[in-house]
Amino acid sequence: MEVAQILCMNKGGGETSYARNSSLQSKIISDSKRITEEAVESLIITFSNNNDTTSVISIADLGCSSGPNTLLLVSDTLNLIYSKCKRLTYPLPEVQVFLNDLFSNDFNYIFGSLPEFHRRLVVENGGEVGPCFISGVPGTFYGRLFPKKSLNFVHSSSSLHWLSTVPEGLLEGEEKRRMNKGKLYISPTSPRSVLEAYGRQFKSDFWKFIKSRSEEMVSGGRMVLSLMGRKSIDPTTPDSCHHWELLAQALTTLASQGLVEENKIDSFNAPYYAPCMEEVKEEIEKEGSFMIERFEAFEVEWDGFASEDENGLKILTRGQRVAKTIRAVVETMLESHFGGHIMDALFQHYGTIVQHYLSNNRTKYTNLVVSFVKK
Ligand SMILES: C[S@@+](CC[C@H](N)C(=O)[O-])C[C@H]1O[C@@H](n2cnc3c(N)ncnc32)[C@H](O)[C@@H]1O
């Protein structure tokens, strides 16, 4: 099944919603902020050098989802544009912001928060803001979303590790034997062919992403991408796959209790891939339209160090916090395969397993951030 049909962050603002369980992704946005700011500042300078200060700046956030992070990125970027222009005594530009995600994304949640967003933006900038036009753009970022040469700045955070589809090649022979039994993603015990199938799918998807953006962006335009990845070229290292390994363990326990059929676990493979820097670089260089300005990898705790307890998060264990973070992202996908009836039991057990694991291990996620300029 196409990912566009099954991947959707938990909607609304309820207990298990993405909006209330995205502190990990918010930490990733804030850890990448320095690189994003640098790219936006360079963009303004390019604008000024072109004597182009009266034109419109077009920005796209790809895989924006719906929650506080969606508009956090937009307000950070707008604040930066306004303060930089004021410092340089340029007129404030008109800014067009496109928020993209898959068709099933909760765009209404975002639109509902726009009036408050505008009010805050005006206050934060002492009443001095330029015209800003925000719209939603549903569709997959693995193809064209915008007209040719129409974008100045593209951003995407915590989204590009989702593949367009489950890789082909996970079934073997005429009898279509399952190659990755008992696992949901690449694991240290997965056959080589599974690792290769995932790697191939990532490269093909990522190339399509870069190719589409190269057509949509103006020369001198900037792009900042941040995604889950790994440090080693070995795709079975814990930083890139152990959270899936533990989720498979939780499902296996449920199977032993008769709550899940084992063959359901064997037939599920996550449309996800955490690449290493070399894989990302290779596709960018192969496509050839962008120059890499910065490429960094940094570690993030599995729970993103949730520090607020607006959601009652402080009274939860780390394991439970991680379980909530993962649930908000993968629940709809797992529900469509395993059924909704097991979700509470699954994530409760997952939280316990993760808590136990993290009390003995220091595994963190690796996040990659790459900043480029369109040639
Ligand atoms: C974990 S959320 C990240 C959301 C937000 N950028 C943040 O940092 O909180 C990943 C988002 O990527 C979106 N996504 C995944 N594949 C996509 C695709 N092919 N095209 C557009 N959006 C996609 C998902 O629907 C989801 O909303």
Token output for 200: 């191939």
What is the per-residue pLDDT for 180?
84
pLDDT band at 3 (very low <50, low <70, confident <90, very high): confident
Q: Is the CB of 180 under 6 A from ligand 1?
A: no
Instruction: Please name the residue whose Cα sits nearest to atom 3 of ligand 1.
Output: 158
pLDDT in tens, 196-216: 999 999 999 999 999 999 999
21 CA from centroid of ligand 1 (Å): 14
Q: Half-sphere exposure of 232 toward its Cβ, with a 13 Å CA cutoff? A: 8
Task: Please state, as a whole number, how many other Cβ atoms lie within 10 Å of the Cβ of residue 282.
Answer: 15
pLDDT for 212: 98
Q: How far is the CA of 313 from the centre of ligand 1 (A)?
A: 23
241 near 274, Cβ under 8 Å? yes
Rounded Cα distance, 190 and 226, in Å: 27
Supply the DSSP symbol for 181.
T
For residue 143, the one-letter residue type is G
* Residue 87 Cα to ligand 1 middle (Å): 34
Ligand 1 pocket test target in 59, 113, 159 with most atoms within 8 Å of CB: 159
* Residue 52 pLDDT: 59
Q: Atom 27 of ligand 1 has which residue's CA nearest to it?
A: 65
* Mean pLDDT, range 347-354, rounded to an integer: 96
Rounded mean pLDDT, 121-149 = 94
Q: Give residue for tokens 């960094």.
A: 296
What would the pLDDT profile of 252-308 be if each residue is shown by its tens digit?
Answer: 999 999 999 988 998 899 999 999 999 999 999 999 999 999 999 999 989 887 544
* Cα 136 to ligand 1 centroid, rounded to whole Å: 13
For ligand 1, whether the C-beta of 22 sits within 6 Å is yes
Q: Which pLDDT value is given to residue 316?
A: 84
Q: How far is the CA of 332 from the centre of ligand 1 (A)?
A: 13
The answer to whether 227 touches 161, Cβ cutoff 8 Å, is: yes
From 157, 162, 225, 300, give the residue whose CB has the most ligand 1 atoms within 8 Å, as the site to mutate.
162
Domains and CATH numbers, the chain: 3-374 (3.40.50.150)
Testing ligand 1's pocket by substitution, the residue of 102, 154, 228 carrying the most ligand atoms inside 8 A of its CB is: 102
Expressed in angstroms and rounded, the spacing between residue 124 Cα and the centre of ligand 1 is: 27
Residue 310 is predicted with a pLDDT of 45
144 burial level (CB within 10 Å; 0-12, 13-18, 19+): middle
Q: Is 142 exposed, middle or buried (0-12, 13-18, 19+ CB in 10 A)?
A: buried
